[in-house]
């Protein structure tokens, strides 16, 4: 599918996947993904903002603020239990999946996840700063404050990783998302205490989440995870040429790129295929850091994958790490989720960045 066509289709698919209440539904025809996650939704909001769909972004942010405020009592309980050194029951944490009307989805599902909230906090501050027409509202202000407080107190509590598989760990990407969210929030509100906590998290990452000169997936899992790209983009916690980041990236490329990007070496979900959103994330990172040809290769790769309706899946069953596991998952859950809104969001971010870089090159040469 052509670039312009897939851009148009991706926007259309994200708009269609937005519920009347404002939630971006991860994948409405895949039973376990018929819900909204702050993680997937925030990436959709970032992408839609780049293409000027401010009204859609505003509806999403208002919806998320309502959800956070609805669970204010839970947030307050977790904060006070943590501060008093009491155990927090699994059901007491704020969940990670919500129905379009903002209810928590019942049933066991790696409840306490902080990366989505960290990314959300970062996104709110980033977008309100960059797109003033989004405005701010009392509910968004209050929800951001609650979220920042929750993360600042609970950041070192074991939680589920962003892939919702390792439920009781300390995960580098999660810490990074919290740190980035708190830094951005502290800049946005001029509350320096959040900056102080972010620095503590940073020292923790450097002290516990680096092995052999590379960032690791989680404490006790000394392997790369493709989500570690997030430390550089979008979170800017490390610079592109930071030696630890470069060594991590080169591990990601050698161990996880075939040429699409896998999540991590022992991933067996649907056999452990190539994730479209991660491959696009790599392309986005390349485009931001001068590797425009590599970024375009990824963009073409994604364009070739799109179905005739322009739909992008979550992953493709190519170069599977555990081929025997594919059938098992297909029997259990059916076809791989498609269209996955997050895959479309990352395509848009990648395509937009490539266009920006090209436009800047043209503008520069006009003035030379
Ligand atoms: C992924 C999550 C994602 C969810 C919805 C899960 O399989 O591990 O990261 O938020 O799907 O897309």
| Test site for ligand 1: of 13, 30, 32, 39, most ligand atoms within 8 A of the Cβ | 39
Unique residue bearing structure tokens 């020292």: 203
Quote the pLDDT of residue 36.
Answer: 98
| Test site for ligand 1: of 29, 30, 40, most ligand atoms within 8 A of the Cβ | 40
Query: If you take atom 2 of ligand 1, which residue's CA is the nearest one?
Result: 163
Q: How far apart are CA 328 and CA 334, in angstroms?
A: 10
Of ligand 1's atoms, which has the minimum distance to the CA of residue 116? 10
pLDDT, tens digit, 9 for 90 and up, residues 245-254: 999 999 999 9
Q: How far apart are CA 241 and CA 233, in angstroms?
A: 12
Quote the pLDDT of residue 283.
Answer: 98
- Which of 309, 304, 313, 307 has its CA nearest to residue 346? 313
Quote the pLDDT of residue 137.
Answer: 93
Of ligand 1's atoms, which has the minimum distance to the CA of residue 96? 10
Spell out, as residue ranges, where the chain has pLDDT lower than 70. Answer: 363-368
Alpha helices in 17-171 (DSSP H): 38-50, 54-70, 72-83, 115-130, 138-154
Cα end-to-end span (Å), the chain: 36
Phi, psi of 274 (to 5 degrees): -90, 120
Helix (H) or strand (E) holding 181: helix 172-189
Ligand 1 centre distance from Cα of residue 361 (Å): 36
Ligand 1 centre distance from Cα of residue 154 (Å): 22
| Test site for ligand 1: of 43, 44, 164, most ligand atoms within 8 A of the Cβ | 164
Quote the pLDDT of residue 185.
Answer: 98
Please tell me if the CB atom of residue 26 comes closer than 6 angstroms to any atom of ligand 1: yes
């Amino acid at each position: 599918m052509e670039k312009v066509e897939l851009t148009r289709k991706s926007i259309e698919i994200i708009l269609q996947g937005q519920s009347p209440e404002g939630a971006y539904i991860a994948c409405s025809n895949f039973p376990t993904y018929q819900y909204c996650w702050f993680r997937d939704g925030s990436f959709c909001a970032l992408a839609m903002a780049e293409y000027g769909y401010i009204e859609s972004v505003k509806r999403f942010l208002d919806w998320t603020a309502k959800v956070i405020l609805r669970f204010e009592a839970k947030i307050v309980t977790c904060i006070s239990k943590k501060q008093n050194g009491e155990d927090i029951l699994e059901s007491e944490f704020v969940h990670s999946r919500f129905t379009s009307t903002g209810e928590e989805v019942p049933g066991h599902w790696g409840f306490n996840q902080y990366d989505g909230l960290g990314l959300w906090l970062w996104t709110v501050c980033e977008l309100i700063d960059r797109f003033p027409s989004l405005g701010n509202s009392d509910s968004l202000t209050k929800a951001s404050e609650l979220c920042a407080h929750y993360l600042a107190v609970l950041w070192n509590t074991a939680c589920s990783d962003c892939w919702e598989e390792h439920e009781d760990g300390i995960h580098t990407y999660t810490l990074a998302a919290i740190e980035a969210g708190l830094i951005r929030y502290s800049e946005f509100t001029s509350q320096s205490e959040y900056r102080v906590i972010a620095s503590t998290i940073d020292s923790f990452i450097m002290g516990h989440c680096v092995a052999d000169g590379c960032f690791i997936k989680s404490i006790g899992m000394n392997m790369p995870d493709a989500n570690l790209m997030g430390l550089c983009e979008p979170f800017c916690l490390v610079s592109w040429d930071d030696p630890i980041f470069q060594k991590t990236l080169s591990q990601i490329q050698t161990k996880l790129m075939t040429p699409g990007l896998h999540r991590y070496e022992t991933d067996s979900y649907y056999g452990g295929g190539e994730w479209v959103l991660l491959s696009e994330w790599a392309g986005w990172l390349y485009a931001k850091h001068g590797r425009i040809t590599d970024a375009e290769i990824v963009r073409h790769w994604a364009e070739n994958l799109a179905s005739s309706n322009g739909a992008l899946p979550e992953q493709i069953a190519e170069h599977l790490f555990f081929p025997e596991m594919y059938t098992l998952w297909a029997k259990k859950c059916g076809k791989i989720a498609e269209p996955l809104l997050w895959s479309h969001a990352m395509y848009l971010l990648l395509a937009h960045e490539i266009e920006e870089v090209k436009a800047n090159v043209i503008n520069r040469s006009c003035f030379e």
